[in-house]
Amino acid sequence: MPEMDLIGAFFVGLLGGVHCVGMCGGIVGALSFGLPSQRQWPLLLSYNAGRIVSYTAAGALMGVLGFYFSGLLPVQHAQRLLQVFAGVFMILLGLYLGGWSSLLSRIERIGGGLWRRIEPLGRGLLPVRSVRQALLLGLLWGWLPCGLVYSALVWTVGAGGAIHGGALMLAFGLGTLPNLLLMGVAAAQLQRWVRRPAVRAAAGALVVAFGIVQIYLALRA
């Protein structure tokens, strides 16, 4: 896997933080609310570790599926098709982050059935008072229906296998980490900042540009 793909996945996760704050901010805020700072950090780190482990596992699974799919077509054609598909999803994600299109929010509903089965398990772990509880909650919440995560997962389909798919989602998950850690300790300030139209527009435009470059490189190959 090209190193640039891992770097790109990290920055997509980082730029997507404007969505993470709205999607998972309430969960992270509830996790740390009312706790002294010396207890907040172990719980926040454990929660996010569990979430990223789930992302990595999902990426490995999608990488396997993509590897199988690529075997059904000539290698070059399959690789191009998967890269273009991933680029289209990146563009949709950028439009979603910028507030210019809600199409990706409809795609989030695909995971609603699975989430309805998982979510009660998460409620049973609240209130979180231990590192073990936070880790288990993160593992569950990693499967929360999310257009940002789905877009990154589409990218892993063309990664070339389980290891590369997992690595791509690991890089993506690490990119989402700074925003969600900040959300745990400075919720109000961060929410005010990411809700600014200029911030959302800038993040969205950069992700759209990334998707366009992805498609261009795929068609040029």
Are the beta carbons of 72 and 78 closer than 8 angstroms? yes
- Other CB atoms within a 10 A radius of the CB of residue 64 amount to 18
pTM given for the model = 0.84
| pLDDT score for 159 | 77
Residue 120 tokens, joined: 């009660």
DSSP state of 100: S
| pLDDT score for 1 | 55
CA distance 84 to 98: 21
CA distance 184 to 26: 9
**Burial class for 1, CB neighbours closer than 10 Å (0-12, 13-18, 19+):** middle
- The tens-digit pLDDT sequence of the chain (221 residues) is 566 688 888 988 888 877 766 666 666 666 665 555 567 788 888 989 999 999 999 999 999 988 887 666 665 666 778 788 888 888 988 898 888 887 877 777 777 777 788 878 888 887 788 889 989 989 998 888 888 888 889 888 877 789 999 999 999 999 988 877 776 665 555 556 666 778 788 888 988 998 898 888 888 86
CA distance 77 to 51: 34
CA distance 123 to 74: 47
Distances (CA, A) of 17 to 23, 25, 70, 73, 205: 9, 10, 31, 36, 14
Measured in whole angstroms, the distance separating CA 190 from the mean position of its chain's CA atoms is 18
CA distance 28 to 46: 11
∠ CA 74-90-162, rounded to 5°:
50
| pLDDT score for 123 | 80
CA dihedral 107, 109, 114, 115 (to 10 degrees): 120
| pLDDT score for 155 | 84
Residue 126 tokens, joined: 């609240």
